[in-house]
Amino acid sequence: MVAGQISKLIGSRVKRKEDPRLITGEGKYTDDVILPNMAYFAVLRSPYAHARINSIDTAQAAAHPDVLGVMTGAEVNERCSEPFPLFAILDDMKYPERWPMAAAKVTYVGEPVAAVAASSRAAARDALDLIDVDYEPLPVVTDMETAADAGQPLIHEELGTNLCYEAADQAGDPDRAFAEADGVVEARLEQPRLIPNPMETRAAVADYERSSGNATLWVTTQNPHIERMVAARMLGMPENKLRVIAIDVGGGFGCKINTYSESIIAIALAERIGRPVKWAEDRTEHFVSTSHGRGQAQYVEAAYKKDGTLLGMKLKIYADLGAYAQVISHVIPTLTPSLSPGVYGIRDIGWTTIGVYTNKIPYDAYRGAGRPEAAYIIERVMDLIADATGKDPVAVRRKNFIPKDAFPYETPTGMEYDSADYDAALDKALAIADYDGLRAEQKAQRKAGNLMGIGVTVTTEVCGFGPAAAMGGLGGFESATVRVDPMGKVTVLTGASPHGQGEETSFAQIVADDLGVPFEDVEIIHGDTSIVARGVGTFGSRTLVVGGTAILKANEQIKDKAKRIATALLEDKIGDTLAPQSITLEDGLFAVQDMPDQYVTWAEVGSEAYDGQLLPEDEQPGLEAVSFWEPPGLTFPFSAHIAVVEIDQDTGEVSLKRYVSVDDCGTVINPTLVEGQIHGGLAQGIGQALLEQAVWDDEGQLVSGSLMDYAMPFAQEFPMFELDRTVTPSPVNPLGAKGIGEMATISATPTVANAVVDALSHLGVTHVDIPMTGERIWRVLQKHGRRRRGGRS
Amino acid sequence: MPNEITVTVNGARHTSSVEPRTLLAHYLRDELGLTGTHVGCDTSQCGACTVVVDGAAVKSCTMLAVQADGSEVVTIEGLAQDGELHPVQEGFWEEHGLQCGFCTPGIIMTLHQVLEEQPDPSEQEIRHSLAGNICRCTGYQNIVKAAQYAAQRMQEQA
């Protein structure tokens, strides 16, 4: 944006460009791809969490009349020239080679063992039953806290341990902080594994052209270029022989970052049978074949002073990586201590992060990825200090805020916070909620014997990833190609791969304002590696921040050249020489300075760019620019949230009565889209607090293994959320944007958890683990009764 | 043994030979190429596959194609008339009722039928009517608003 330019669309509630196709059934999701002569494949998965494969017999399946090809794990793995690549390998990290399928041993329920291609979906499924696998079950490791103990069964014998890494570090002098403290609070906090469950499960369609050796893979991914890089490497193909397409993707939330085995299997089978193949994951299959999120056991000790000051913290964090590390999944737990100071000026902190292998499906990013776990720790700690000092949770937070004049602010854990004003956000949230009124109401409710709780949090998170150093080899940039055609219409190719966030709309708003063209004249193209310049993808709330800025950078080149072309056109018009500096671009018109009647339009400039008859000799035709932009630093949105809950004393059931969400994501391009991200983020965070968890039995079977058993939030669970915002632009990108995809999820879980504990605090309850299901709260009520035992007033 | 069925989908008659076990959802998607109907689960929870069969909203993953023999089916592709969006579709666009869009066709078909039966539902009635649909993106906030928008539009049109 040119400084001082009047924004027309940036900041406006523009309706989405994406919607017409999606509300009429014209969306193009991976499972919607139908190719001539297409076959279907299904994947046989391990029913055991840990077992040796003695033998596998596929003869009967191969003999099925509708079967076109069967591949065992050994055959698919043999087709590959290298195992799954890992990025951002940590110091002293132990990791096994991981190939697409299990061949000698299975290490989690759901691990792929064999695949069958057949002429129909149903026949492929039928044929799975004809494959005979002789398993020898082995003892199972499911508990992350004891997984690395001596004597545990080894998941990967070659490593000699189930420990992936143990990383210990400290900043300042935590021992001194604890020695100087008036008191110490401590807790063990559970972060159950969650199952991302985007409404579109995964799918893959592969087409292989034998004549050229070119392959096309349609796949449900958040990052087609990373998918191509990984799949091409594994299959030993040059990247330019593999085209990855992901046009409409039905949500990801982190679980569609990874390149999964099915992409490799699809291409291998298409090659083998000489026909295109499709695989679409069942929902129940999704539970055991798509990565989970969260999964930590957190031990925290916090030293405080009587006035509520947090002096220091010591953290020990166990992370349940599952059977393998993938992409950068192992790095996610390390974000938890990094972000654990939250919005507070704590300087003395020590931490140990222990990543272990277990006999479970690998874990990976899930909306927030490492930061929700951090916010949960620090925001529970603030309430524990409030309990211990008898102070109001709001007062304790204010006492510890990093002041607004301290930014940019480097945390003791090495994060550079870009900008913030936490008091302003908190003030707004308190006013909307009528906090004092709520506390008075709570008093009255308690008197009447009812359980009402108020939860408050103020949180921050890190997003807008890169730069490259923060990405461990995946790249920290985003790309944009901006193309003006002879009609003056604009096409933008973005390397980011939005899948529900609405960047077809917000990017078009940015371009329309910046170039002065109508919103309707801008088309945004994404999700095809053969068309779009290399990009990184959509995750970590980076797309608007990094991808949006890349577009601005390409626009700068476009505007420069367009002005030179306009100069030539205007010189021809007025029959005089003009300096390109004397040409202004305003409202989409290139005019001669001080001669507003003398102008040309984008259509005239676009046409001349390709017609080229009037172009100066040193000017080449065309009007297209490619830009790659890497941010110099990370962004830190923040929020102040307040939840009000009531608890049914007979059933323990929690009902969420109000939710106030004041969020600051810097410059807002489209308030409607930002609010949408907050709504969905809140729903996921509230779901985590009250309902969702992956439950495993001792044999490593996922008990909550279908939508019948895993509690996803429904419409009835929520009131209308009350949203507002503050705007503190980020200095690290010219848009001033911070990213909003994950903020609300990160805040919502501790906010609701704090509200539930607050409802019970007068009974002496200081902590209840999530999810705070009716049963769990009922048990707490049975134990604590209704007697008053101190706690907050 | 394949069975022959005749189904009218979005006003067009189709006679097809299907396996008895073929789900209506897969028949619509794989046989008729109507991929606007999505399959989001296999246990009848998510409602992404909802279509209208003989006037009733039905989860098409829970009905066999042979059970639809002789029926009139309306899918998301058949809802807009002469290029004019149905008020429920309009509501979703106006109120930002969708993000990834995957659950959207099923929720639109559900609400389409809900509003036929109850033209002026309360917020709680709308939420209750969505007990068979899951959305992971929107927190249902703007879906409720989309339904309210549609209810008002339909009353204005009535």
* Chain segment A495-511, per-residue pLDDT in tens: 999 999 999 999 999 99
Percentage above 90 pLDDT, chain A? 96
Whether B123 and A720 lie within 8 Å, measured CB to CB: yes
Whether A23 and B104 lie within 8 Å, measured CB to CB: yes
- DSSP letter, residue A582: G
Q: Which of A23, A33, A679 to mutate to test the interface with B (most CBs of B within 10 A)?
A: A23
Main-chain phi, psi angles of A480, to 5 degrees: -145, 135
Residue A3: pLDDT band (50, 70, 90) is: very low
pLDDT over 80 at A646, yes or no: yes
The count of CB pairs under 8 A between chains A and B is 180
Nearest Cα of chain B lies from the Cα of A501 at a distance, in angstroms, of: 6
Asked if A7 reaches chain B (Cβ–Cβ under 8 Å), the answer is no
Main-chain phi, psi angles of A300, to 5 degrees: -130, 135
Residue A792: pLDDT band (50, 70, 90) is: low
- Nearest CA to B19 out of A497, A674, A643, A126 is that of A126
Asked if A18 reaches chain B (Cβ–Cβ under 8 Å), the answer is yes
Query: Mean of the pLDDT values across residues A721-741?
Result: 97
Q: How far apart are the first and last CA of chain A?
A: 51
Indicate the residue of A25, A200, A251 with minimum beta-carbon distance to B36: A25
Asked if A283 reaches chain B (Cβ–Cβ under 8 Å), the answer is yes
B36: which chain A residues are within 8 Å (Cβ-Cβ)?
Answer: 24-27
Residue B158: pLDDT band (50, 70, 90) is: confident
Q: Which of residues 661-700 of A touch B (CB under 8 A)?
A: 672-673, 675-676, 679-684
A718: which chain B residues are within 8 Å (Cβ-Cβ)?
Answer: 127, 139-141
CB atoms within 10 A of CB B71: 19
Whether A680 and B137 lie within 8 Å, measured CB to CB: yes
Report the distance separating Cα A412 and Cα A287, nearest Å.
38
pLDDT over 90 at B2, yes or no: no
Q: Is the pTM of this model over 0.95?
A: yes
Nearest Cα of chain A lies from the Cα of B158 at a distance, in angstroms, of: 23
A34: which chain B residues are within 8 Å (Cβ-Cβ)?
Answer: 30, 33, 35
Percentage above 70 pLDDT, chain A? 98
Nearest Cα of chain A lies from the Cα of B74 at a distance, in angstroms, of: 12
Indicate the residue of A248, A283, A680 with minimum beta-carbon distance to B101: A248
Asked if residue A532 lies in contact with residue A495, where contact means CB atoms within 8 angstroms, the answer is yes
Q: Which of residues 263-282 of A touch B (CB under 8 A)?
A: 280, 282
pLDDT over 70 at A789, yes or no: no
Exposed, middle or buried: residue A270 (CB in 10 Å: 0-12, 13-18, 19+)? buried
Compute chain B's Rg from CA coordinates. Answer: 15
Mean pLDDT of chain A: 96
Nearest Cα of chain A lies from the Cα of B99 at a distance, in angstroms, of: 4
* Residue B48 identity: A
In DSSP terms, which residues pair with A277 in a beta bridge? Answer: A39, A206
Q: Would the ipTM clear 0.85, i.e. be above it?
A: yes
pLDDT over 60 at A637, yes or no: yes
Instruction: Give the position of tokens 């999701």.
Output: A29
Residue A791: pLDDT band (50, 70, 90) is: low
Q: What is the 3-state secondary structure (H, E, C) of A395-421?
A: HHHHHHECCHHHCCEECCCCCEECCCC
Residue in chain B closest to A280 (alpha carbons) equals B39
Cα-to-chain-centroid distance, residue A762: 37
Residues 6+ apart with CB under 8 A from A298: A188, A189, A190, A191, A315, A316, A317, A318, A336, A373, A376, A377
A254: which chain B residues are within 8 Å (Cβ-Cβ)?
Answer: none
**What is the reported pLDDT for A1?**
40
Asked if A201 reaches chain B (Cβ–Cβ under 8 Å), the answer is yes
pLDDT over 80 at A662, yes or no: yes
pLDDT over 90 at B13, yes or no: yes
